[in-house]
Structure 1
Amino acid sequence: MKRTKHECGLDRCFLCRTCLKEWLPALEVHRQTYQVKKGEQIFKEGEKVTGVYFVYEGNVKVHKKWGPDKELIIRFAKKGAIIGHRGLGTNLYYPVSGTALENGIVCYIPIDIFEASLKVNHELTYELMMFFADELQESERKMRNLAHMPVKGRIAQALFSLKDKFGLTVEGFIDIELTRQDLASYAGATYETVFRIINELVSEGVITTMGKSIKILDPEKLAVFVSDTDLFQDGSSKKKQLLS
């Protein structure tokens, strides 16, 4: 990564929005900003933790090794989000990797400064705790789906999740471009399976594609693959949630 003098308004990221105003000058002194190129690793699974990062521009995937030559995408991070926080704790090694999906800028906070920030800023500590709780629930849901949900349902769920997180473009496409391999890694499927199912959904008129972009044409039909599984006690309410 390349250092940059890009100025931060100290009001956009998860850290700055929840810190006391009196603490912001300390962050200004110790933070470092880096330019990242598409495909560049920001931190690597197994490396010793030196700090946490906040996405200033661009999108980042957080992923973990899944077998000798595969990966599982844990989550996506967009502007303002924290990454590298999974390395917090007594075993200070990153359990996941972070890779830029496009050219962007990240803000780096050394681990000692971040830990000091948690001790001083109670709102930050509370919000991080709630964020960890949400991440834990999402991880448990994904692991349950990997074990029980058919692959077509996992791909449908992945598309809804991406739409909820990134929104839509003016043309109605999900506002993030992903390779089929990244979509496969996010859904916990093989590239070949995702390629086949995407083509099936296109031929059925459920979705349409333009390059790496995907548009959901028939959300009700797509939701059937998720809500018709036995994973939800109330399939109708789950369907409403997906379509909202």
Structure 2
Amino acid sequence: MKECSNLCDLNKCFLCKLCLPEWLPALAVKKRNFEVKKGELLFTEGDAVSGIYFVYEGTFKVHKRWDKEKELIIRFARSGDIVGHMGLGEERLYPVSATAIESAIVCFLDIPFFESTLRVNTNLTYELMRFYANELQNSHRRMRDLAHMSVKARIAQSFISLKQQFGLDENGIINVEMSRQDLSSFAGTTYETLFKVLNDFAKHNTLTITGRKIKIINEGELTRIVINDNI
């Protein structure tokens, strides 16, 4: 990870668009921008918290150790999103890791300045509170799904979620490239189980994966699998 020129987009940056105009010069002085290579860790679970990151460009997977050999992908962070905020509790250690799944640029604020920013900019504080509430709801939903949904339904739901978050290109391919290992970590299953379910989806013309490109052919079938699993 190397430092780069101070980039900013006042319209899409979660931080800048919610701060008072009078605070922006202070941000320009205190913030630091970094380039992060594909596959590079932004921070690691258990590291001491150094600050908070705002994604300017690119995509990160936010993941947690499941056991010695497995990980669970909690969510994906894209341009305009926040990473590192889960380390702002009393125990100042990151409870998750963040890894770039494509080349990315982030904006970094150290903790003392970020806390000063929250005290001064009430709109930012309010929106961050809402962001935390949504994160909590999504975490509860994920834990419920892991506990109660079948593996096939979880995998189907994962593809639906990826389509909703990243959208499709002109060829109907999901706008993110992911390894099968990351797909299994996102669905909360093993690589071997994912492989079997993907073969079944391909056999029934539900979706195809070529390399790291995912094309949903029959989203209705994926939805049917999820709904029937919850009945």
Superposition TM-score, scaled by structure 2 size = 0.97
1:30 aligns to 2:30 (yes or no): yes
Q: 4+ runs of 1 displaced by more than 6 Å? A: none
Deviation at 1:60, TM superposition (A): 0.4
| Equivalent residue, structure 1, for 2:178 | 178
Instruction: Look up the match of 2:160.
Output: 160
Report the equivalent of 2:50.
50
1:100-115 equivalence runs, <5 A: 100-115=100-115
Deviation at 1:229, TM superposition (A): 2.1
> Kindly tell me: are residues 173 and 30 of structure 1, through their superposed partners in 2, closer, same or farther at Cα, counting changes over 3 Å?
same
DSSP-derived class of the 2:160 partner: helix
The one-letter code of the counterpart of 1:105 is I
The answer to whether the 8 Å contact 1:10/1:24 transfers is no
CA distance in 2, matches of 1:125, 1:108: 17
Three-state SS of the structure 1 residue aligned to 2:62 is: strand
**Aligned amino acid, residue 149 of structure 1:** M
CA distance in 2, matches of 1:50, 1:105: 17
Over the aligned positions, Cα root-mean-square deviation in angstroms equals: 1.1
Unaligned 5+ segments in structure 1 are 232-244
Count of residue correspondences: 231
Distance of 2:160 and 2:230 partners within structure 1 = 18
Moved more, 161-170 or 1-10: 1-10
Q: Following the alignment from structure 2 to structure 1, what is the Cα–Cα distance between the partners of residues 78 and 173?
A: 17
Q: Secondary structure at the match of 2:229?
A: coil
- The letter of the residue matching 1:155 is I
Deviation of residue 6 (structure 1)? 4.5
Q: Are residues 1:223 and 2:223 paired?
A: yes
Distance of 2:113 and 2:155 partners within structure 1: 39
**Equivalence for 1:194:** 194
Cα offsets for 1:37-85 (capped at 9, x unmatched): 1110001111111100011111100001110111110100011111000
- CA deviations on 1:88-141 (whole Å, 9 max, x unpaired) are 121111000110001111111111111111111111111111111111111111
The residue correspondences of 1:83-98 to structure 2 (distance < 5 A) are: 83-98=83-98
Partners in 2 of 1:55 and 1:133 — Cα distance?
A: 20
1:70 is matched with which residue?
Answer: 70
CA distance in 2, matches of 1:57, 1:199: 34
Q: In structure 2, the residue corresponding to 1:185 is in which secondary structure?
A: helix
SS of 2:136's equivalent?
helix
Alignment partner, residue 236 of structure 1: none
Paired letter, 1:73 = I
In 2, distance between residues paired with 1:73 and 1:175? 18
